[in-house]
Structure 1
């Protein structure tokens, strides 16, 4: 019996089985990351933990309640996770959920940076106001849900067109995730910091607000001056030229972090002062 369990072919089969299960779970987690579903998933983990503790300490009332939650949990999950399940099934039908892009991560990041820089420069020269929030590690799907879904590939033409005055989506923030414009006309939380200059408007306060509660990188193009600003982790970098903007984007979107440039540090210090 033990000899069969340690048979090389059997061990290989078990290893492949475990690897496939973990890969599917990883893909599902990546699919719901940054949405409200991830918070619901955390709630399920808490319920399971309470259930195990109730068994260990023989807490019969809590055990009965958690048993009921688990018994009916499958139906509840289907109802609560309906948008994510529908999206997963659609991607599975298109063959996208397990597919990999032909481009490398570095190429995707470089194209994203170029698209954002071209769009910001175009809008800055024409004084077109813009607010662009780029998701990093912390999911900002909740804020994307306040706007209008776009789900379009990130290009400088599309990004510029969204902020063109007198168009339906120009007022509000655009949220970007990887190479996708997720949503437009989104509402971001306004910062209540008393240290923000009075000359800065709602876009800058919104950019500061989202930077205080997430690690998102947010770019602002001023409608009044045409200046480009950027916020990250509660810090505001103002009057960025093309190279400074490129440097900040590269430092914060690249896979390997780099040290902040002196020019940005100097500007940041002057803004805080």
Structure 2
């Protein structure tokens, strides 16, 4: 009897095998969290669920459709998840796929919020137009690719410098991903809502547009008036004071349990749909 055939060794190897597989799945899920891939993954699970339900209820036509979707699903996954798969392979090659992230996410978020607030206050006083969109759960990689890649640390000084008039990057939006400035001079989709005030310009329409197709939080500084606005979930909050802006931004980006008491969101401000 070989070493692997011993009952206790065989049992332990099966346990290790299961644990390793679950750990790999967990790391892959953490890697695609916050991108469009996670939404597509939910769709795949829904197709599989419908397949089992249709088989149980005897819905042959629906079952056939789900079978076709599953048969061709492997090729579809490779095409749809191509950016995520490429990133996973790159991280695996660098030995980073299984490394532990030791950065305190909440502290990073608070630091990022303060940098955005400081830059916004500076630009608002000087009427420097700005458009800053912060990614949350829905991925914004498609919009990042329309701009100039930076992958830079978020700082108030850099944000201010980007939006200084007549510089190469000032025209367009800054997109922040994973607490970093992913790109500048990005193009965002304009809202086509007929209810938007005629006095609002392209920046506000772009901020509303991206909030209608993603769950991002977008900051707008008006070049004409210096007014500060914020959009989320298709809603526009206009003419915010800096205290209101800080509370609203902190409430959206930092978990309430982790945010300082003075920064917890108890927003009762001016909302314009």
Alignment TM-score > 0.5, same fold: yes
Q: For the residues of structure 2 that align with 1:56 and 1:233, how far apart are their CA atoms? A: 38
Q: For the residues of structure 2 that align with 1:108 and 1:44, how far apart are their CA atoms? A: 33
Helix, strand or coil for the counterpart of 2:20?
helix
Q: Note the C-alpha offset of 1:112.
A: 0.7
Q: Deviations over 1:10-50 (max 9, x none)?
A: 77665554343233223323333454544554554455456
Q: Note the C-alpha offset of 1:219.
A: 0.6
Q: For the residues of structure 1 that align with 2:15 and 2:270, how far apart are their CA atoms? A: 51
The count of residues paired between Structure 1 and Structure 2 equals 261
C-alpha distance 92-62 of structure 1, shift in aligned 2 (>3 A): same
Q: Note the C-alpha offset of 1:235.
A: 2.9
Q: Note the C-alpha offset of 1:181.
A: 1.8
C-alpha distance 103-143 of structure 1, shift in aligned 2 (>3 A): same
Matches within 5 A, 1:40-189: 40-42=40-42, 44-45=44-45, 48-49=48-49, 52=52, 74=74, 77-184=77-184, 185-189=186-190
C-alpha contact 1:176 1:182 (8 A) present in aligned 2: yes
Normalised by the size of structure 2, how large is the TM-score? 0.76
Q: For the residues of structure 1 that align with 2:81 and 2:166, how far apart are their CA atoms? A: 36
Q: Deviations over 1:252-273 (max 9, x none)?
A: 1112378743xx52x415x57x
Helix, strand or coil for the counterpart of 1:183?
strand
* Mean Cα deviation higher: 163-172 or 16-25: 16-25
Q: Which residue of 2 aligns with 1:192?
A: 193
Q: For the residues of structure 2 that align with 1:56 and 1:99, how far apart are their CA atoms? A: 42
Could you tell me which runs of 5 or more consecutive residues in structure 2 were left unpaired when the two chains were aligned.
1-6, 258-262
* Structural RMSD (CA): 3.4
Q: Note the C-alpha offset of 1:206.
A: 1.9
C-alpha contact 2:162 2:169 (8 A) present in aligned 1: yes
C-alpha distance 124-49 of structure 1, shift in aligned 2 (>3 A): same
Q: Which residue of 2 aligns with 1:268?
A: 270
Q: For the residues of structure 1 that align with 2:119 and 2:243, how far apart are their CA atoms? A: 14
* Mean Cα deviation higher: 62-71 or 118-127: 62-71
Helix, strand or coil for the counterpart of 1:88?
helix
Q: Deviations over 1:179-200 (max 9, x none)?
A: 1222331313314141x33222
Helix, strand or coil for the counterpart of 1:28?
helix
C-alpha contact 1:173 1:188 (8 A) present in aligned 2: no
C-alpha contact 1:34 1:139 (8 A) present in aligned 2: yes
Q: For the residues of structure 1 that align with 2:96 and 2:265, how far apart are their CA atoms? A: 36
Q: Deviations over 1:116-139 (max 9, x none)?
A: 112212222322211111122333
Could you tell me which runs of 5 or more consecutive residues in structure 1 were left unpaired when the two chains were aligned.
1-6
Helix, strand or coil for the counterpart of 2:108?
helix
